[in-house]
Amino acid sequence: MFGDLFEEDFSFISNNHYGKGKKSKPRVSEPPAPRDFTNLSGIKNQGGTCYLNSLLQTLLFTPEFREALFSLGPEELGTLDDTRKPDAKVRIIPLQLQRLFAQLLLLDQQAASTTDLTESFGWSGHEEMRQHDVQELNRILFSALETSLVGTSGHDLINRLYHGIVVNQIVCKECKNVSERQEDFLDLTVAVKGVAGLEEALWNMYVEEEYFENDNLYRCGACDKLVEASKSAKLRKLPPFLTISLLRFNFDFEKCERYKETSCYTFPIQINLRPFCEQTEMDDSEYMYELFSVIIHKGGCYGGHYHVYIRDVDELGNWQLQEEEDGLIEEKDLRDTENAKETENPLAVLKGILSEEEAKQIPVDQLGQKLLEKKGVSWNKKYRKQYGALRKYLQNHPQIFQLSPDGNKVGLKETHKLLFKLDSHGQNLQSPSQKNGVQWNYEKNPPRPRAASAGCHWFDLNDSKVQPIKEKDIEKQFQGKESAYMLFYRKAQLKRPPEACGNPRYQIPEHLLNEMNAANTELQKKRAECDSANNGIDLHLHLSSCYKFHNGALHPSLSCKESVVDLTIDRRKTLGDLRQAVLQVLESWEGDMVLSMAKPLPAGLHLYQVLDGDELTLDGIGLADGADIFVWNGKEVGGTKVLTGPEHEPVVLNVLRLAEHNEGGKGQHFSEVQHVFPCSTSLGQLHSALAPAGGIILRNGSGADTEAKNWQVFHEEDMKETIQSVGLRDGCSVLILDSHDQSFVNVASGNLTAFTYDISWLQVKNFCGVEEEAKHVKITATIETVMSDIKMKAIREFQLQEELGNKSCLRPVSGNGKLLSPVPEDYTVKEAELKMGSLLGLCHGKAPTSTQLFLYFMVGSDQNCSPEMEIVVEETASVKECLNLMLEKSGLSGDNWHLRRLDWCYEAGEALSQQNATLKELNVCRGDTLVITEGKLPEKGFLKIPIWWLKPSSHKKHGENAQDQVNGITWKMEALQVSAAAAPAEPTHPGLDLCYAGRIEIAGEASLEDLKMQSVVPWCLCHGYWF
C-alpha cells in the first residue's frame, strides 16, 4: 500500500539513496497564494491524499506531538542536505515531517505541499492518486515513525503520547480465580451498528460482562474443569491522547456487499472515562478528556473524501465567522460615511499648499496633483460640485491667487503668503498634519487587529481550504453520508504554557526558523515580481509637439520612435498618479496638460475621450496594456483645431473614376484616389466634395459570398445619411460617374448596366529596362480587362516608348521568380486564369496568339548541362515539325533525336512516339516542357534494348558457385544505372568486367531465345568472344 515505507531492514536510515532517480516537479510560474484571514495553512491534495492531509493536520494541532518532534535536532536525525553524501545517516521521514510542520506554521502560503514527505515514504505517482483508509494510515504511520526514531531520544514518542493498555479478565465462579490478558493499543476501535453513541459503545465494551454458562462453559486452570465464569474488559492505562476509530464500514452477508453505516452516532465534546477504567480511585481530572479533532468521511464504502474539524488549542488561527465579519465591515463603512460628510473650505488648503512651495508659481495641474497627494482625494471629487473647476475657483479669488498671463501657472500673492506663515503659529489655523480630523499622511490599508478570542475555536481544514466553524457544527457529523470517522481526545488536565498561545514559532528549532524566514522572503520577492508583471501596463504616450494634423487625422512630424514615449505604470494607480508620472517624464512641459485616449487608424491617429477623474484607478477607467494616450492642451495641435470622439472618426475611402481612355473595347479602366472624411459626414457633403460639377456616387453593394460585386447608386433621399450609417468603412470603394459617364447606369434600378465586375489590381514588373532592379507598377483592372490594355497601361506607367507594345508581352511570374509562358494579348484576365494581385512581367518578345503554344525545351534531362530554352509553335504543328524547330534553335542536326515529356521528377519521361500527330492531339499545353533525347525511336511494335557483355573472368574465387556469380553480375548491373534513353559514356566499366555492346531493335513479341541469338552472333564474330 505504501511502497517501501515500512520495510524492516532499517531503510528508514538513508545511505545516499534518497532522491536518486527522482525528477523534480515543474514549478508553477505563479507564486503560491498567501494565507487567508484565518492565518492557517491548508495542504494541497496530490490527487487522492485527502486522508493523509486530514491526519497530518491533526498531528500538527497536537502541540505535544509537534513539540516532541521538533525537540529532535540534526545531531540525532541528520540533515536533508546530507542525503547525497556517502555514508550519511539521515532519518528522512521525521525530518520531512518537521519541515512540513514548520511550513504549515510559518510559511505564508495558502497551502503546503506534501510531495517531499510522500517521496520519503517511497510512494510512486499512482499511490498519490489512490485513496486509502485513514485509520489504517494512522497505525502504519505511527509504526514507521517508531521505527525511524529507534536509537534517538524520541524512540518512545508514540508510546509516550498514544499508548494505552486494555486488560481482559475471566473470573471463575467456583474458585474465584482470575485469568488476565493484557493488550496494548494506540487507538480504540468501537462499533457503530446498533449503538446510539460513543458512550454506549464504551459501556458495552468495558462495563458489560459476558457470561460462560449452560452449554458454553469455561475451563478453569485452577479447578481443571469446565465451570461457569464471567468475562470483562477494562482500561488499565489511559494515554494522554485517545484515538477512537468508528467502525462505519460493515459487510452485509445476505447481499454479499460492503456498506457504510450512516445512522446517528453521537459523541460528546467532553467525556469522563472513569466508568470504563480498572482503577477508579483517582481524581476526576485523570479521567476527563476533551475532543479536539474529528476526521470526517464523505461518500460511500468504495470512495469518498476526507476532511477534518480541529480545535485550535494554541489559538494560532484567526477565528471570525463570515456573518460577524460582514457586520464589522458594515460598521466601518458607516463610520467612514459619517466622517466623509465633513467638508472644509478649500481656500485654506490651497493657500497651505502654495505657501510651502519655494517657486513663486507652479502649474495649475501640479497644484491639483499636490492636493490629491495631501488629501487623498481630487479637486473634482471633493470640491468641484460646490465650487466649480479649479482654474475657475482660482480666477474668482484674484486678491489671494496670482495667475500667469496665460492662466497656466498660479502662486500666492506676497501679502497672503506672509499672513499665512504668521497665522500658522497661532490657533486659528490647523496644523499641517491634521485638519478636521483628516490626516494628511495615512495608510490606506491599516492592518486589522487580531480578533479577541474567547477561548479555543474550531476550524474546518479541507485540503487547501481552511474556514472557521462553530462548535455546534460538529453535531452535523453524527450521521449521514458525511459523518465522523475518527475521533481524537486529549486529557483535560494537559495545559499549554502561556507563551505558546498565538505563537506559531514556539519550540521550532533555529535552523527551521531561518529556513522559513528565507522562504518567506523569497515568496514576497516572487509575489512582488508577479504582482508587477500582472498589474504593470505599458502605455504609449504620443506628444502633441511631435504631431501635425492634416487630411483628417494626426500624423507624426518626426519618426515614430521620436514621437512616442513608452511608460510603464501599475494599473491600480490613479489617473492622478499617471498625470504626475507624465509630468516627471516630460520635464519641459508647460501649460495645461490633457490626456486623451488615442487609436491608430488607417487615416492616422484619432483622439477619443479625455481621461478625467484623478482619483479613479487606471484599471477602473478601462486603461489596458498597450493603450495609446495623446498628451496635448485639449484644444489644438500645431495651431489646428482637432475634432475628437467617435463621431469624428476618420474613414479612408477609395474613390474610383472611369479612365479617360478605354483601349481594347473589352472591360473598363479606373483611376483611384484615396480621400479621408469624418464618419459623421453626410452623403450630401460627400457628393459636394467629390462631384462638385454634378454626377452620381455609387457604392459597392455586394455581399461577402458574391463572386462579382454590384455597384449601387446613392439616390437623392440618401443624401442626409452619414458615411457611418450607410456602412462605409475604411477601405470601401465609391465610384464617381460624371454626367457623360452616366450612360453606364440604370438610375431607376440603381445598378451599372455596362459592367458589374470586381475592380482590383494587377502588378507589373519591368523586365525590358536596363536597370539592375526592375520597377513595379500597380494597374487597375477587372476580370474582363483585356491583357493588351494592361500591357499598354504598364508601358505608359513605366514611361516607355509606345512602339514597345508590338515587341513585348506579359508573362506571369511564379512564386520563385520564374517567368512563365506569355499570356495571349486578346485574352481577358478571366480567360488568362489570373488572380487579382498577381505579378506579371513585361518582357521582350511577341506574345503568342490564342492558336499558338509557348513551350520550354532542353537537350537531355540534366538542367545543369543544358539550359532551358523557349519556343513558340502552332498548336497544329506535328511532333516532327516541332522537333525540327527545336533542333534548329539549339544548333543540333541529324535524325537521331526524339522528343519526350518532362515528368514530375524533372526527368525524361513519356516519349512522343507519334511523329505525325499534332501537339494539340497529344494534349501538349502552353507552358509544357519537352526534352530532346538522343536516339531514334523504334517503329511501332518494336523495342530498343541495351546489351552488356560479361568478359570471361581470369580468376575465380575459391568455393564460388554459379549462383554466386549470377548474384554478383546482378549487383554490378544495378550499379550501372543505365538509362534507356542514352548510351553509356564508356563502353567498358573498370573493375566490373562488363562491356557495352550497344542497342538491339527487336519486335515486342519476340522470345528471349530470339533476343539471345540476335545479341550473340554479331558480337562473337567481331570480337572472338565465346558464350
Catalytic residues: 50, 305
Q: Which amino acid is at 406?
A: D
Q: Which amino acid is at 118?
A: T
Is residue 150 a contact partner of residue 158, using CB atoms and an 8 Å limit?
no
Q: Which amino acid is at 392?
A: K
Spatial separation of the C-alpha atoms in residues 937 and 913, rounded to whole Å: 7
Spatial separation of the C-alpha atoms in residues 670 and 711, rounded to whole Å: 14
State the pairing for strand pair 733-737/650-658: parallel
Is residue 821 a contact partner of residue 809, using CB atoms and an 8 Å limit?
no
DSSP 494: -
Is residue 308 a contact partner of residue 461, using CB atoms and an 8 Å limit?
yes
Kindly provide the residue ranges of all beta strands, DSSP E only, lying in 284-334, ordered along the sequence: 288-300, 303-311
Task: Report residue 103: phi and psi, to 5°.
Answer: -65, -40
C-alpha cell recorded at residue 588: 519641459
Spatial separation of the C-alpha atoms in residues 475 and 469, rounded to whole Å: 12
Kindly provide the residue ranges of all beta strands, DSSP E only, lying in 644-759, ordered along the sequence: 650-658, 670-678, 696-700, 711-713, 733-737, 745-746, 751-752
Spatial separation of the C-alpha atoms in residues 1009 and 871, rounded to whole Å: 46
DSSP 132: -
C-alpha cell recorded at residue 738: 460624371
For cell 497564494, name the residue: 33
- The strand pairing partners of 637, in sequence order, are 640
CB neighbour class for 842 (10 Å; exposed up to 12, middle 13-18, buried from 19) = buried
Secondary-structure percent of the chain, ordered helix, strand, coil, rounded to 5: 30, 30, 45
Q: How many CB atoms lie within 10 A of CB 559?
A: 9
Is residue 401 a contact partner of residue 345, using CB atoms and an 8 Å limit?
no
DSSP 421: H
DSSP string, 752-767: ESS--PPPEEEEEEE-
DSSP string, 325-355: HHHHHHHHHHHHHHHHT----HHHHHHHHHH
Alpha-helical segments (H) within 767-871:
787-797
Q: Cβ neighbours of residue 1001 under 8 Å, at least 6 residues apart?
A: 938, 942, 943, 944
Query: CA 413, 417, 420 angle in degrees (round to 5)?
Result: 140
DSSP string, 217-243: -EEETTTTEEE-EEEEEEEEE--SEEE
Spatial separation of the C-alpha atoms in residues 686 and 677, rounded to whole Å: 8
Task: Give me the helix-helix angle, 364-375 and 346-355, nearest 10°.
Answer: 110
Q: Which amino acid is at 262?
A: T
- The strand pairing partners of 844, in sequence order, are 808
Between the CA atoms of 545, 546, 551 and 552, what dihedral angle is there, to the nearest 10 degrees?
-60
Which H/E stretch holds residue 363?
strand 362-363
Residue 655 Cα distances to 675, 687, 699, 842, angstroms: 7, 12, 10, 28
Which of 394, 356, 361 is CA-nearest to residue 373? 356
Exposed e or buried b per residue across 894-908, where buried means at least 16 C-beta atoms within 10 angstroms of its C-beta: eeebbbbbbeeeeeb
